[in-house]
Structure 1
């Protein structure tokens, strides 16, 4: 079998955006996000796809996948959240942007923008890591028809893989908040730990507990839950057995908020793709174009689960405490 070590986004060759259309997305608080539209080949689209990145990952990391989907008949939006990549302000120090802003404001604006392009087309979301959880924070998430999530979770530390838990806790829940306090933002790029993060995002990650809504003020918690309840989309949630962050337990915890969605889980193994390792990032590497990427088209275009036999046996189990 081919041996493939896990690599983060910063080490992967990225597609150029020369064949995509730059787009500005204005959020309701006035913040402007920047991204790209990848138009369906042949000019006739079978659906609008929004790709939500993982935390600290540039939108351009997903450009190869976006172009792949466009070549198969989708209009695709890639965009950077506020504070990241093309949407980074001139000064990040002291920036108050939060994770919740990425869902309530950024994704919400992206969702409206794609819906307004052609409201007759299915509205589809591909969410990686936190990008698969953020949609439930949008006031307009009820517009979503289908979602594909990959390792989607909100980084509750007890859900990290047991063998890696202490290392990840040290990295993301001790070192990150200390450096964020010192610099006024998290200097992840200079450490080789993904991209720099606004202080609000870094701290929300570091200090989030078992219940996501408890990171919101008490008067707002009911509204947060109601927004997730409004999501009635079909969700196919992918986990990979060697993902030390997006474990099956972590994904189940996140999915428990989508109480009115039709949810299926696919528990994949590296061996399903002839590999020894995949981890948290690898499924968006171009090496998966003929395998995982092609499989995802079945779900996005036809609502067909390409891995029905790989259902998570514990999908309906009680969540860990």
Structure 2
């Protein structure tokens, strides 16, 4: 088994924002390099075991905190101007450029978790990706969700988010087990997009003036879990409808088939789900 070096680094975005990130450098030859795009409000440490696994297999990896999240938050979260859109337009492209600088002349891959996969079409340099492997990435369209979870999702988006923003100036999502506290604009955009159709498509011609969803032809694998109440098949299909030329494979995992109590929306990246990681590794090996 190969070993790797783990270093904390700072990544500069084009607009001057700095991101806290972690760099996983394999010892020996590097097969390819991977950007792990985090879910909304999830810190990079959540992906540490998975990133280490990939590094042990010979892949360079960068994990990072989006602006306004974790160690990339500067000052009070109430003052953060971060949005979902700038995560895709500024943060993800900057991380890819960093990946290229640390691992030059390699193939570059996105492994996206939820929003980390959904936002790929906002990256101005997305065409430099050799492949995309997404887990639990879907439109999150509220109207497609099944009862009783639909009540919970609608309450969070349409009651909790606006009230929390009103009273606290940000969304206290940590109080309901939804990751880190969210900057106001992140939560507002998340709510708007999940109430629409096609997620970010809701913003086309409004806040989003330029995107690459219609142009990407990248090979992609979209994985969801049968016990995920958010990234259900209908919402994965809804997200994929935004891409016009993307080469798409899909896979639905059932926790029972792997002796797991749950996979859901989050557990693919848990160390307890390590027997699922071979799917990502095999995908990388096929496209490196």
TM range (shorter): over 0.9
Aligned length, in residue pairs: 282
Shift of 1:284: 0.8
Stretch moving more, 295-304 or 257-266: 295-304
The answer on 1:242 being equivalent to 2:227 is: yes
**For residues 246 and 191 of structure 1, what CA distance do their matches in structure 2 show?**
19
Residue in 1 aligned with 2:167? Answer: 182
**For residues 207 and 171 of structure 2, what CA distance do their matches in structure 1 show?**
29
Residue in 2 aligned with 1:53? Answer: 38
The answer (yes or no) to whether the contact 2:6–2:22 under 8 Å persists in 1 is yes
Unaligned runs of 5+ in 2: none
**For residues 128 and 46 of structure 1, what CA distance do their matches in structure 2 show?**
22
Stretch moving more, 262-271 or 63-72: 262-271
**CA-to-partner distance for each residue in 1:177-212, whole Å, 9 max, x for gaps?**
211121111122244432100000001111221143
**For residues 166 and 191 of structure 1, what CA distance do their matches in structure 2 show?**
14
Shift of 1:96: 2.1
The answer on 1:83 being equivalent to 2:68 is: yes
Alignment of 1:7-22 (within 5 A): 19-22=5-8
Residue in 1 aligned with 2:203? Answer: 215
Q: Give runs of ≥4 in structure 1 deviating > 4 Å.
A: none
Cα RMSD over matched residues?
A: 1.9
The answer on 1:101 being equivalent to 2:89 is: no
The answer on 1:152 being equivalent to 2:137 is: yes
The answer (yes or no) to whether the contact 2:60–2:103 under 8 Å persists in 1 is no
Alignment of 1:31-50 (within 5 A): 31-40=17-26, 42-50=27-35
Cα gap change, 1:269 to 1:219, in 2 (>3 Å): closer
Residue in 2 aligned with 1:196? Answer: 181
**For residues 267 and 191 of structure 1, what CA distance do their matches in structure 2 show?**
27
TM-score (norm 2): 0.92
**For residues 172 and 19 of structure 1, what CA distance do their matches in structure 2 show?**
40
Residue in 2 aligned with 1:285? Answer: 270
**CA-to-partner distance for each residue in 1:211-247, whole Å, 9 max, x for gaps?**
43333553844x22xx112322110000111101111
The answer (yes or no) to whether the contact 1:237–1:263 under 8 Å persists in 2 is yes
TM-score (norm 1): 0.83
**For residues 26 and 74 of structure 1, what CA distance do their matches in structure 2 show?**
22
